[in-house]
Structures are given as C-alpha cells and as structure tokens.
Structure 1
Amino acid sequence: MKKELDLVLAPEIAYDSALLETELLRQAGFSKSNETAYIHKIKRSIDARGREVKVKVRADVYTQAPDLSTILPTYHYPSVKPDAPTVVIVGAGPAGFFAALRCLELGLKPVVLERGKDVRSRRRDLAAINKEHVVNPDSNYCFGEGGAGTYSDGKLYTRSKKRGDVQRVLQILVQHGATTDILFDAHPHIGTNKLPVLISQIRESILQAGGEIHFDTRVTDFVLDRQHMKGVVTASGKTFEGEAVILATGHSARDIYELLNDKKILIEAKPFAMGVRVEHQQSLIDRIQYHCADGNRGDYLPAASYALVQQVAYKGHERGVFSFCMCPGGFIVPAATAPGEVVVNGMSPSRRDSRFANSGIVVAVNLEDMDLKQHGPLAGLRLQQAMEQKACAVAGGTQVAPAQRLQDFVKGKVSSSLLETSYQPGLASVDMQEVLPPMIGQRLRGGFQEFGYKMRGYLTNEAQIVGVESRTSSPVRIPRDKETLQHPQIKNLFPCAEGAGYAGGIVSAAMDGERCAEQVALLIKR
C-alpha cells in the first residue's frame, strides 16, 4: 500500500532529515518505529509568498519497500567489445561525458578528447587566474574535465523537460556520488566543492568499461571525406577516427567556430545575452525574499535566491533584461579563456555559505542587434570579444574587473570607492558605460530601476556591478537535422549541447549528449 502526501511544513522540519522522516511517517499513520515503511521523497520547494516562509513537500510512504529499481535504478556500463564501433566525442563537459556513458550502454566505444586538464590538475590553472592573473587558453574555468559546470556552481535546474529524461540524468549523478537531495529539491544544486569528485567518478566509469579519455588534446582540424566526417586532428598532429564525431565543445570554444567557418561548414549567428554580475550581501537578499527584518534566515532555510525579468526599450526597441545563473551564498570568478579579456561568472559551494549573493543581469541580444554584414555567423562572437577586451583594457589589462556601485551606475556616476567583493583578482572603479555598448548599458540601467521596485532594497549602493557577464550561451548555432541530429551538410557530424546552441546548463547538456549518442547508434545500425 502507498500513501501519497502533499504537506506544507515549517523549514525546521522540512530541512531536518530526521524530523522530516518522523513527520512523514506520522502523517501517513505510522509510528517512527515502523521499520517496514519506506519513504520516497518526490519534491521539496520553498513558498516565500507570505510573511511566514513555508516549505511544500510531496512524498509517497509505502507500507513495505517497493521495487527500488523503479525509484532509484542502477545504470550499468558493460565493457565494450574489441570490435565495437568507435565514436569520437570532442569535449569532456556534461554533454561529452553523458554521451560517452550512453555510448557504452549502447555497445559503442567512446573516445573523449578534452583540450583541458583533469579536474585535479585544472585547479592549479584556476589558482593562476585568481592570484597571478595568468590565463591558460586550454585550462581555465570554461575548459577542462567537467566543462564550465564543474567550477561554475553546479545548478541542476532545467526547463528542458521535453528534451530528455531529467530524472535519469539526476539518478546517474547520484550513482556517481551526488546526494539524493537533488532528486526531490525543486532547484537542485551540487556545489563546486563536490562536483570535481563526482566528475572523476564518471571518468572512472567510462575508463573501466573500455572507453578512452584524452586530456590536453585540443582539436585543430577535421578529417573530411567529401561531405562525411571521418574524425579529427589534434594540436599534436595525432588523428582520431570513428564512425561519427559528437561535437560537444561548450559555448566558449571559439576556435571551433572559427575552424567551422574557415572550412565553410554551415554555422549561424544566434541570439544570446550579455551584461554584468551584480553582487549583494546575502543577508540583504535573505531579508527581501524571506521577510526577515534583520536578514537572519535562521539555521534551516537555504540562502535565498531570486529571478527577475523586465522588458526595457532603447531607441524604440524592447529587449529582455533578466537575471541569469543566480548564485546565492556564492562567489564571482574570472571566466576568461584568453589573455587580454575579462569575463566574469558565478559559482556557489554546496553549503552556499558565502556572505555574498551574485547574479548575472543580462540583456537579450537579437540578430538585428549584430553586424551580420561584416562578420556573418561570427557577429555575436565578435561582439562578445569587443566587450571583453574593452573590460580588460579599462580595468588595467589584468584580470582585475571593472566595477561600479549599483546606484552610481544607474545615475551615471563613477564610484569613489568600491565594496568588499568575492572576486579574488580584485576590482577597479570605472564608468561601466565605457565598457558596455549603449544598447546593453542603457537597458541595464532601466532594468535595475524596475528591479528596485520589484524587490525593495535591491537597488542600493551597498551592491555593485562587476563586468562583464558575456558567456551566457553560445552566440553561434551549428545547425542539425531535428530528427537525426546530424549536421545538414556534413554527415556523421553531431553538433551537441551548449556549444552548438541546443542546451543551457548541466542537465540539458547531459540530456542532449545522450540524445546524440542514441542517434549515432541508430546511424551505425542502418
């Protein structure tokens, strides 16, 4: 027998595992000592609309343990056979790794090529960016094992419900070391401090089953036979060939876009977004969102987040201004992938216990906003580069980032001083209008004013903006057939996930990687 429960609980119960279990058993009519009962927690979400914050919990309580394989299945990766078809996967981010795992399930041998380093070795290059302002173009916050998601928060929320099995992706992450909380929290999150261990476990699953992973292996050319993709060539001159190539390089692999364009392989400019990071004290966001006068959310509620959006006009044309990748209790990090540019991103540790909250606040950039005549499909990329290089130059030519207090920015006033920040390389006080194109800067000003009305206390000089947040998504789309997922011009080439313009985060990228692997398997069987 199963009893379905939908409860509204106080945070101190909902976020205490023992108390939550006791309450669920009580509500289902069982005593705490009932050892045969089994609890399956389905969803937990915060409702902060009223003056008193509540937590909604949905769970099933069984009188006896159900078939656990249907609730938390175990995924097996059989060893590949000696004659198994080879699939070359370019990129070891969530798309590449999940494509590799799915290949193993389907009897294919994945060969994963990653330009960056493994997660452990990668840390030294991250330290060099933060402390020495040295950017390694192949190993940084964007490139390396696990991709950009490894060191940029680990949020697992996605709206891409129709693109694949979200629960399957989360279950695989749990199997490799993630907490089961990600299976029922409405906005699941692993944390940058825990993701590296999890990523290394996925690597071991791939290797133990006979897959290959090659680090420090940057793709520089394609092996083409007329209109068929046969493999790739790396910077060392080595060639890797296979039955198909899954291109899962992420949204910052600009050299891949340049290569495709030089080879006259069809790519397209696509809409994206650019702006800044805004940083507040977390206690202020807690006070606004949880209605606690002193900003003390207590011992049970997680650090509060927010989501904001507003249409703002510039020269008669409205564009969306919106929050992106909000990181409660987090840090701002340098996400440049080449010397001479400054890019910022956000991340949070698993406990989200930093004193700071930060979020990208970005403006939609449409095709009509780009110079397509001069730059063609690379117009958005050139726009990104120009803003990133300007940010670097204005702030002094290192990884020090340009910044301005929030109200000063809205009023057009250079800040006489800046606030303490989580951004390790440091900040320089500048007029951000020198960095931001008018179509971005003017709309950001209007957006922040509206956000101040929506969240009283948000628009304050006790917050500051840090620039620039430019890598929200790929400015280029690599087209593919809707059914086969192959490039329409180059057979056996499978553009995949964020770098190709078909995903927007860890989970959606992982699902797209699986879909590409499945289509490769169908191609090989034909």
Structure 2
Amino acid sequence: MTETVDIILPLEESETESARRDAAAKKLGISPKRIVDTKLRKHSIDARQRKIKVQLRLDVAIDQPFEPEPAPHWSAPALPAGAKSVIIIGCGPAGLFAALRCLENGLKPIVLERGKDASARRFDLAPILREGRVIEESNYCFGEGGAGTFSDGKLYTRATKRGPVARVYEILVAHGAPERILTDAHPHIGSNLLPNVVKSIRASIIAAGGEVRFETKVTDFLLTGNRIRGVVTAKGDEITADSVILATGHSARDIYRLLAAKGILLEAKPFAVGFRIEHPQPFIDGVQYHLPKNSARPDLLPAARYRLATKIRDRGVHSFCMCPGGWIVPASTENDEVVVNGMSLSRRDSPFANSGMVSTVEPEDLQPLQKEHGILAGLAFQKELERASKIAGGGGQVAPGQRVTDFIAGKISADLPETSYFPGAVSSPLHEILPNWITSRMREGLSLFGRQMHGYVSSQALLLGFETRTSSPVRIPRRDDTLEHPEIAGLFPCGEGAGYAGGIVSAAMDGLRIADACNS
C-alpha cells in the first residue's frame, strides 16, 4: 500500500530518513516499523520564521516496497513516409519542445537557428566578456537553447494552467538535467549544466528524424496570398513546409521589423525596463534566513532568494529573474548597445546576489515614439536606453552604475562597490539617463523595498544599467481556435518572442501546445 503525506520538519532533521519516517508515521497514525520506504515528491523551505522549517511531500510504502517506476524518458515513433514538415524558427525552449512534440505527432520538424550550437556558442561569449565585442549572431541571447542556456536556467513558473509542467521537467531530466528539479519547489538547472541538456535534446530530435540547422538566419517569408509556405534564409535558400512555427525569442527584433514591413498584424503590449541590482549574497542570506549578524548560511540551505513587488501610480515596480549566488552578464546582441542580465551556476556559489529591478511600461507611455515608430515604439524605446547605456559606459560592454542610495538621492556615486559584472562598471547618473517617469517610480519602489527588507537600500547595493529584455514589447497575435496568426494561415506565433510565455518552462509548454495545433 502507498500513501502520500505532507510533513513539516526542522531544517536540521529534514534530510534524516528516520525523522521523515517518524513524522510520516505520526501523520498516518501507524507504527514507523510499517514504513518500508519513502520517496520525496516535493521539497520546499519555509524561512518566514526564525526557526526554519522544511515542507516535504512523501510517498510512503507501507508493509511492502514500491512498485518499480520507469525513469523519465522521451521517445517518438518512426516518422511515416511522406511525413508533413514543420519549419521551426528558433532553437530556444519553445522551438526545441515544439520539435519534440512534432516528432511525437508524426511531423518532421526543421529547426532553423540563426546562432551556433551550444559548444561553439560558448567560445563566442569570451569576446563580449573580455573585449566588449559582441558577435551579433552568437551571444548570450542567440544560439542553441536560446537566452536561457547561459542565463541561469530557472524553471519555476506560475503557468501551471497552461500546460504539463511536470512533463516538461521529466523531458529535461531525460536529457540530463538533475533529478532534483522534479521535487524542488523552485527548480533550477544552472548555466553550467544547461548546454549539455539542450545538446542532448538536439540529438533526440535528429535521431528521431528531425533536422536542426545552425547559422541559418531567416530573413523573409514565402507567402502565397494569406498563407505561408516557407522561409528565405540570409544565404538566399528557400525552405518550404506545411506550417511555420515562429519561436524566435524577444531579442530577434529583425523578425518584428520583417512582420511590420510586410504589413502582418502586430500588437503593442506592456513590458518592463530598469536595471540589475546587486547585493552581497551573505546580506540576502542573513535577511531571508534571519541569521545572526556575521554568521554563515547553514550548509543545508541554498543561497537565499527574494521577490519584491509594488504598484506606484498604476505601474508595477518589481524584482525580476532573481539570481542568488549569481553573476551579472552582458546580454547585448549588437555592438552599439549595453544590456545586462543575470545568471548563476548550479552551485549558486557566487558571493553576489542580483536581480532585475524594473518598472512596467505601457503602450500609452510611448506616444511620442509612436508617431515615428508606430507599433514598434516599444522596440525603439528599448534601443534608446541600450544605446544610452553604451554611451554612459564609455566603451565596450562597460556598464553605467550607481549606488542605490545615490540613485535615490539623485547624485553621482563617487565610486562603486565591487561587482560580479566582468566587463566592469563606471559611475553614471542612472537617475538622469532613465526618463523621469520611470526614475520617480523606481525611487519610490526602492525606498519601499528598503523598508520591507531592512538593509536592501544601502551604499553596498549597486545598480547597473540597463535591464531592457524582460519581455517583448509587441505581441504577434494568434487565433484562439487554431493558434495560427489571424491573417496568415499556417504561421504559428510561439513562446516569449510572440508574447505568450515568460521563461523556460512556459515557453516549452507553449511549444508543445503549438506543435499540437500544427497537427490538428
């Protein structure tokens, strides 16, 4: 007999099997001797009180052992002769999971990726870090696995109503991700492990009959009336298919411009901009875990995270993509800009913690830019900030920086604290570079967060500019019934770049959903 039970244990007992069995037996009202085995199904830390607790969900085998469970796996039937083909533009999580589901459904995916494979891509990160030179088709945003490959690999999502979250985790584990992501409340793979996971997924796609073509940038669509029949690449090749899934991510701005130039419907949507905020990780640990001053974090505890959010004059101000034990990295895709993002390795052992700290931008905030740029006003606004960041940084990928206390006070910092950002930072008036309608909200938001989280606002907290790629400022619309673009039959907008996801898991789930739509 098997029972599932939720128990709560003190931190120091949570990893002890005997303590788990005793707590489970007490909850079930049976003798601990009847428990043959336990399996962990969910693990989360409750650090709201000074006495830290661990919440565990266990399957409990009573009187007899568990039935064997198959390991997570992925497979697809052999492609039928004459299988319909689907072009998938983009090799991020949306594109990769769409390809896997296409194969499960008997469709042949042809994945086209403008960047390089994960192994080659890793070498292209060195110039941006050490020389400040962006390889514009192979960087932290473009290449196999998309922006997530070298940008942390957080898997936590609230999008549980939109698809099979557990199945996404199982497929990742089947391709080499650590099994703990199946049980952790806030699962995370890490930028050191993700490249091998995405390479393994690519191998599965190819072995099952799909194609993955790198350094293949799509520059045009082949249209016959209101139906798409393929694409044109930068090399002039024409590739045709029965359907096209557009899963390019939110940094492929040339795709938005192509759609707009062809008169294909786009919609403006809210997005957010701001900076990366960085603190010493021991400070975050101390606050979140209620540790005595100058005491080290217990080994059983992961690097602490936080989430902060408020609304000021009808606009959100909030943390975004928080990276405990992480690094700030340059996420630029062109050489005339500076963009920052965060990442962490699986160990999360950096001495720094960083997070996006951003404010919402609504389409109506950009009316002056709409006169010139129309539906692409949000892209123009992002680019203005990125170019301003480049100028303020003074060259390469050096980022403009400011102490949080000085940003709130409206003065340039005399110097800057140590940072994880490898290209370096230079003191700059971020409060003047950002539009006042953003600066004023960010000042109020940061001041509030400083009161909620004592010490969050301090001279040791650093702001680096700018975090602009939180999400796409446009949405590529799709029909509710077929999920095709409402004007172009056979064109399926997908994932973050289309405005329907916000992270690895939600993008992967959207890829699965869109692939099913291609099969209907």
TM-score bracket for this pair, using the shorter chain length: over 0.9
Match of 2:2 in 1: 2
Displacement of 1:75 in angstroms is 2.6
| Residue 457 of structure 2 is aligned to residue 459 of structure 1 | yes
Output the CA distance in 1 between the equivalents of 2:363 and 2:104.
40
Q: Deviations over 1:315-359 (max 9, x none)?
A: xxx311000000000000000011110000000100110000000
Change (3 A) 1:206 1:155: same
1:265-276 equivalent positions in 2, closer than 5 A? 265-276=264-275
Between the aligned residues of both structures, percent identity stands at: 55
1:355-374 equivalent positions in 2, closer than 5 A? 355-371=351-367, 372-374=370-372
| Residue 319 of structure 2 is aligned to residue 323 of structure 1 | yes
1:358-507 equivalent positions in 2, closer than 5 A? 358-371=354-367, 372-507=370-505
**Unpaired segments ≥5 residues, structure 1:** none
Displacement of 1:6 in angstroms is 1.5
1:36-435 equivalent positions in 2, closer than 5 A? 37-62=36-61, 63-66=64-67, 68-69=69-70, 73-293=72-292, 294-313=294-313, 318-371=314-367, 372-435=370-433
Change (3 A) 1:33 1:398: farther
- Partner letter of residue 409 of structure 1? F
Check the 8 A contact 2:131/2:396 in 1, yes or no: no
Provide the TM-score with structure 2 as the length reference.
0.96
Check the 8 A contact 1:329/1:354 in 2, yes or no: yes
Check the 8 A contact 2:181/2:189 in 1, yes or no: yes
Output the CA distance in 2 between the equivalents of 1:164 and 1:467.
35
| Residue 20 of structure 2 is aligned to residue 24 of structure 1 | yes
Output the CA distance in 1 between the equivalents of 2:36 and 2:209.
41
Check the 8 A contact 1:473/1:501 in 2, yes or no: yes
Check the 8 A contact 1:85/1:242 in 2, yes or no: yes
Output the CA distance in 1 between the equivalents of 2:497 and 2:75.
28
Output the CA distance in 1 between the equivalents of 2:318 and 2:414.
27
**Unpaired segments ≥5 residues, structure 2:** none
Check the 8 A contact 1:477/1:500 in 2, yes or no: yes
Output the CA distance in 1 between the equivalents of 2:190 and 2:394.
32
Check the 8 A contact 1:73/1:171 in 2, yes or no: yes
Q: Deviations over 1:471-516 (max 9, x none)?
A: 0000110000112110000000000010000000000000000000
Check the 8 A contact 2:331/2:339 in 1, yes or no: yes
Match of 2:517 among 512, 516, 519: 519
Aligned length: 511
Tell me the secondary structure at the aligned position of residue 251 of structure 2: coil
Q: Deviations over 1:124-172 (max 9, x none)?
A: 1111100011111111101000000111110001111111000000010
Provide the TM-score with structure 1 as the length reference.
0.94
Output the CA distance in 2 between the equivalents of 1:334 and 1:178.
25
Check the 8 A contact 2:326/2:353 in 1, yes or no: yes
**Superposed CA RMSD:** 1.6
Check the 8 A contact 1:95/1:511 in 2, yes or no: yes
Tell me the secondary structure at the aligned position of residue 417 of structure 2: coil
Tell me the secondary structure at the aligned position of residue 68 of structure 1: coil
Displacement of 1:394 in angstroms is 1.3
- Partner letter of residue 211 of structure 1? G
Check the 8 A contact 1:77/1:205 in 2, yes or no: no
Which range moved further: 432-441 or 300-309? Answer: 432-441
Output the CA distance in 2 between the equivalents of 1:395 and 1:131.
15
Change (3 A) 1:207 1:22: farther
Displacement of 1:67 in angstroms is 5.8
Displacement of 1:180 in angstroms is 1.5
Check the 8 A contact 1:286/1:295 in 2, yes or no: no
Output the CA distance in 2 between the equivalents of 1:267 and 1:487.
10
Output the CA distance in 1 between the equivalents of 2:104 and 2:328.
38
Which range moved further: 363-372 or 453-462? Answer: 363-372
- Partner letter of residue 325 of structure 1? C
Displacement of 1:434 in angstroms is 3.1
